[in-house]
A and B are shown apart, each in its own frame.
Chain A
């Protein structure tokens, strides 16, 4: 034994602790609390090494390397606003067909909250035939024949779930991790905060909207929450300026603008020499970047530069607002190093109240609208060798019920389904996800998840991991806490989904 009394004391303390803790550990394991204890230990905390995201104030969007080498460098997120029915596209439920028209068993309804269903609804069978496709033998319906060509590249998660059953909160939940307006920063803004933008002449997080409406959650879906506002998404438009205020006002030529900037530069620099505030130089550089952005963004958003063949493959019409146009834009932006490209397509809320919202009518038409462009987008990414490092995500904000909607207590005139937070399907492609793979299972009617449920925060953690961050480490100090996209509840990266 050591002669130093302090060391001896420490050693005694240690021995005692060892004995106690071992005992505890064993007891905990035996009582099943072990897993819990280990879980909490695995959550890195306050004192842990924090990643540094500070940048020079003149370039808050400067690119930063990820924490570790991520498989994905960028994300293209295709959100079908309104929530498409998983039961008509990916979640094959032959039993549901047999139950078509039967009263829903009471056990399904107990303790459940629905947006519109009331009382005892009837079951509604899948409206379209399913078949196995690709080498992976993945089940898919006949609504997406073009996308089916890529079925062996898709990684389907059939067991996503959320706790929100209204559009706006559920969309906010998907994109910000919180159901409240202003509650959290969006995934895209987190990514741009973490990685910056590669192309300094374009925004790092671009949002494209189709379907005639902004999604229900509004601009908060791409807001930056408590993150500095430079990280929020920039909505680009099909009509008018692609980015608000991008083009010079009437009567101002590019030459004249250059001349104005030269004057600004001269006077501002003199001002800096006099006042000494470094912010002045920052402003000078921002004006220069704005000038470059005017060129670059216009060019990136100009679809007329694409070949006729490309337009045919996507089904695009330059100058119109459409999902197809946005898919083609997404590819152009991905090529130009935009970090997070978010598409929203409105019109998937298939309640069956009208033809537009009927599964066998409006929904089928929406499928037709997205099938070709998505397939073409994946084709193009593959051809350019970009798919490996581009994570393409497709999904809605929740699923749809296996029951037929009976709003106001009467059956809808058309086949429609109500909102369902309990299970929905999302797929990913490229960006290092496992190709030709389906994860998670729902019960025989697609109502409840029976295997491998994936919470939205798990999904966020997985996307963040693919981009090269531990979701605990992609954090921002605010209100005395290290805020994270995934919050404080236990969260895991779904390792099974990634290669």
Chain B
């Protein structure tokens, strides 16, 4: 400050005046400047101008993951709040009061944002944009993908041919705008090859091509499309895509990676696609088919979609940990598949850049957290699926009856337990063999220290009131911490046998005569519907004669367990055959035998309480004929189901209401550290609300995804089909439509297609595909000229037709198909075509790769056995997914290993030779090599060879004949193989 000012400023009023003056001056000047700026630039658009700046420079520190300094730019209300500095980050209309601006314009490296370690300062234009945006009120708008598509009118274009289909009108208008001309239509052969692969995954046969070329009607192409859409091959081709999304595999994953019979789901899929099930029903069945009223067996099979998660059978693993992992996977997969939103990052913190909060993840997780599966080795719950689809209805009816019966049998016991007056039966002594240590507290047994898996507990208890009668005994196993166990369960227990004795005052023991034991759970989660297997008797080993069999009849079966976890107090009631009078001084001795481990650890009951009653109704319940009939009927159904030839398919099933797990937020995504209150199922506020009054379950959720105002469901669907046909989606990042995903190349077209699919076509997939593949856009030639390559190297504007490499499945199917080897057999268990020895070497997994016999060697790729830890090697080389997790988009590569596979894999070598032999046989014995090589070419590439190309192959054949052949083959065979290999390896053969 100039010294001259000081004396004047010592006078308060003068100081005031000076300050006021200065402030006024600033305001004037800055207002003037602002006006200047506003006159040059139009109003700022948040999504276009501001969000990219924030996402690029700010949100990684000030976003959903960490809000450094208490500042976050994901939600507007957060951005308007005060940060730790004590000043608001953004003050709408007042850039000069906004901390954001102060920080980005600062020249001091310590204060400037982005911090000097994180990046260079913002460009002056960006700063101006932010300033202007705040001046204009700092309006926030939602990212395009989170706003429902708006109705779009296709623009009109001058070219009449391009003005027919709305798709073409959008594409052409953009091309005109960019001053690019479209390519001419592709020739018939190229087009037929393209559309055949796209719709059926196979090339056209020469006969099909000939028919099409001869067909000169104006709708010849459309009729080809209809033929292809009607082909059963259609379902097989599109199932491949869906199996990637569903992370379908024939094994369970993780260490042992043992087999899972899930192929009935795959067959359902092919079937559902072929019968053109609308997309909404298709997904609702898969997400919640089990909850549909009157669910059919097919609908229940569909739910196997979410049972394709991995199961960990490794010794010593915590089942709860991997149950949680599977549930998390279901959440992530649901969002990826239906909406293309990266949801899994919200598991640990709020979404880093999209407005989804941490708690919302767990509200959503609550929809999936109450399914019955729990990383069991036997994958309970399973559905019995008959091999013969004609018996589906019967099997479905039986299984539903069984469920009802099991509940019906349980219900009276549950009621009676509640009505009975129980008196406590305090345990007075407890011992174990082998020895273990216990604590007795208020008559309750608490086990401490080590216990062996095969431990036997012996308890004595004295009835408190003498001279009573006994009709039933209740065994209760409460969790150590009942409150916590509801959301973080404790290790379970398995008591495999309970026996009891009455000890008279004189010390004589008589066995308690139990007529039956009733449990609090309808089914114990063991592999159901399986015939009891008689114990294997090894003739070499003499039966253990030394075992002392107690006299009398064998004990009544009484397995009492909470497997794998204990999440609430469990009970079992033992009902005596007749009321038992207990004279004074009588004691009871009870023996609890354990025998099975859970996850390789002994599973004793940690706490145990006994209660007794003399209520005579128990005796009646035990002998109730109706219940006995129901039980007998259940047994009969189980046997009937087991007798039907069929497989067990893991499916989704909800826990009964009273058993449902609680869901709480996992602190920083750690499943062992839960916080906050119990959460009700819910959906992120960013999306439309759930319908009022509907039950909060998976079915409501599945239907919610197809609500009219959903922003992403239809967009994600049409974009996926677009990507399959054109190689690149309208939105390139299929896996992320969020604010850092790629913006759509044709936003209006995307919205139009989405609404068209959702409302006009009522989610009919074949209709959508038909519209796209009959568009002029799709039918263009894919020739790349230098100008187009320069202007649009990745063909995002579609000034030419698509040209993409075949998928792993198509590469194989084409080779076998062209060679006449491909089997047309559909459905059934997965097959094992030849693969090199020693590829499978999994630990603790006895399964071997045994090549399938007969035509199963030559089935379509889709039916190949898919082992997660060791997928079919040649598929992996062509970028197939391992199916560990949901794969939304395969990234095509071009590597030398692909060349090795196609040239050296015996499968392709065999196909190469067969191809030429077949062609030669067709051409007849007199035909010249030229003739049958032309035929072979036609079979693979789908058009006739050009002269020089044919010459080259004929030369190859002749040269190969002259080359010395190795001893194991003839020159002839080697030459045929060489020509076949050349054909199958041509770039034209590997692309569509």
Contact = CB atoms under 8 A, between A and B. Distances in A.
- Per the CB under 8 Å rule, do A and B touch in the complex? yes
Interface of A: 1, 5-6, 8-10, 13-14, 16-18, 20-21, 24, 40-49, 57-58, 60, 113-116, 118-121, 165-169, 180-183, 203, 209, 212-220, 223, 228-230, 234, 237, 239-241, 243-253, 255-257, 259-260, 262-264, 266-268, 270-272, 274-280, 282-284, 286-287, 289-291, 293-294, 346, 406-410, 418-419, 479-481, 488
B969 interface: yes
B736 A479 contact: yes
A237 B119 contact: no
A67 B917 CA distance: 55
Contact of A5 (B26, B59, B785, B978): B26
A114 B316 contact: yes
B979 to A, nearest CB: 8
Contact of B869 (A183, A219, A262): A219
7 contacts: A40-B68, A223-B882, A228-B893, A259-B960, A260-B956, A260-B981, A290-B896
B314 to A, nearest CB: 5
Nearest to A104: B450
Interface in B937-989: 946, 948-949, 952-953, 955-956, 959-960, 963-966, 968-969, 973-974, 977-978, 981-982, 985-988
A6 B124 CA distance: 14
Interface in B882-901: 882, 884-885, 891, 893-901
B85 A13 contact: no
B884 A220 contact: yes
Interface of B: 1, 25-26, 29-30, 33, 55-61, 65-66, 68, 84-86, 96, 102-103, 105-108, 110-111, 114-115, 117-120, 253-255, 257, 310, 312, 314-318, 325, 342, 345, 352-353, 434, 436, 449-455, 597, 600-602, 733, 735-736, 738-741, 782-786, 789, 803, 805, 836-839, 841-843, 868-871, 873-874, 876, 879, 882, 884-885, 891, 893-901, 903-906, 909, 946, 948-949, 952-953, 955-956, 959-960, 963-966, 968-969, 973-974, 977-978, 981-982, 985-988, 990-991
Given A214-B841, A275-B782, A245 B900 contact: yes
B107 A14 contact: yes
A283 B102 contact: no
Given A21-B110, A48-B118, A245-B836, A480 B876 contact: no
A181 B310 contact: yes
A329 to B, nearest CB: 16
A259 B956 contact: yes
A408 B894 contact: no
Contacts of A18: 108, 110-111
A20 B68 contact: no
Contact of B117 (A41, A113, A215): A41
A236 B67 CA distance: 47
A480 B353 contact: yes
Contacts of B740: 480-481
Contacts of B733: 479-480
B985 A60 contact: no
A228 B894 CA distance: 11
Contact of A290 (B106, B786, B900): B900
A172 to B, nearest CB: 9
Nearest to A481: B352
A178 to B, nearest CB: 11
Nearest to A294: B900
Contact of A214 (B56, B843, B985): B843
Nearest to A16: B102
A287 B953 contact: no
B870 A251 contact: no
B600 A115 contact: yes
A463 to B, nearest CB: 23
The 8 A-B residue pairs whose C-beta atoms are closest, nearest first, are A119-B450, A218-B869, A115-B316, A182-B884, A251-B969, A409-B452, A480-B740, A47-B119
B110 to A, nearest CB: 6
Contact of A276 (B785, B879, B978): B785
B115 A218 contact: no
Nearest to A4: B29
Given A60-B895, A240-B836, A241-B836, A287 B106 contact: no
Nearest to B883: A182
Contact of A220 (B29, B60, B882, B953): B882
Q: Chain B interface secondary structure, helix, strand, loop or mixed?
A: loop
Nearest to A171: B255
Given A245-B900, A408-B600, A480-B353, A286 B973 contact: no
A239 B837 CA distance: 9
Contacts of A121: 450
Contacts of A10: 105-107
A17 B102 contact: yes
Contacts of A257: 903
B1 A1 contact: yes
Contact of A166 (B68, B317, B345, B786): B317
B452 A216 contact: no
B118 A45 contact: yes
A251 B118 CA distance: 60
Given A214-B870, A229-B876, A290-B899, A259 B978 contact: yes
A53 B793 CA distance: 19
B843 A263 contact: no
A302 B57 CA distance: 52
B452 to A, nearest CB: 3
A120 B789 CA distance: 71
B873 A252 contact: no
A287 B784 contact: no
Given A13-B105, A250-B909, 8 more contacts: A13-B102, A18-B108, A18-B110, A45-B119, A47-B114, A119-B451, A229-B879, A267-B986
Contact of B885 (A21, A119, A181, A418): A181
Nearest to B786: A276
Contacts of B115: 41
A289 B1 CA distance: 74
A49 B117 CA distance: 10
A49 B882 contact: no
Contacts of B871: 219
Nearest to B793: A278
B782 A251 contact: no
A355 to B, nearest CB: 18
B893 A263 contact: no
Given A17-B111, A24-B84, A283-B894, A220 B869 contact: yes
A24 B30 contact: no
B968 A251 contact: yes
B904 A248 contact: yes
A410 B601 contact: no
B807 to A, nearest CB: 13
Given A20-B85, A246-B900, A270-B949, A168 B451 contact: no
A47 B56 contact: yes
B118 A119 contact: no
A325 to B, nearest CB: 14
Contacts of A216: 255, 314, 843
Contacts of B841: 209, 212-214
A253 B600 CA distance: 54
A5 B736 contact: no
Nearest to B841: A214
A480 B342 contact: yes
Contacts of A274: 783
A183 B601 CA distance: 28
A114 B871 CA distance: 31
A1 B964 CA distance: 93
A253 B959 CA distance: 13
A290 B897 contact: yes
A257 B436 CA distance: 72
B842 A283 contact: no
Contacts of A286: 894-896, 898-899
Contacts of B906: 249
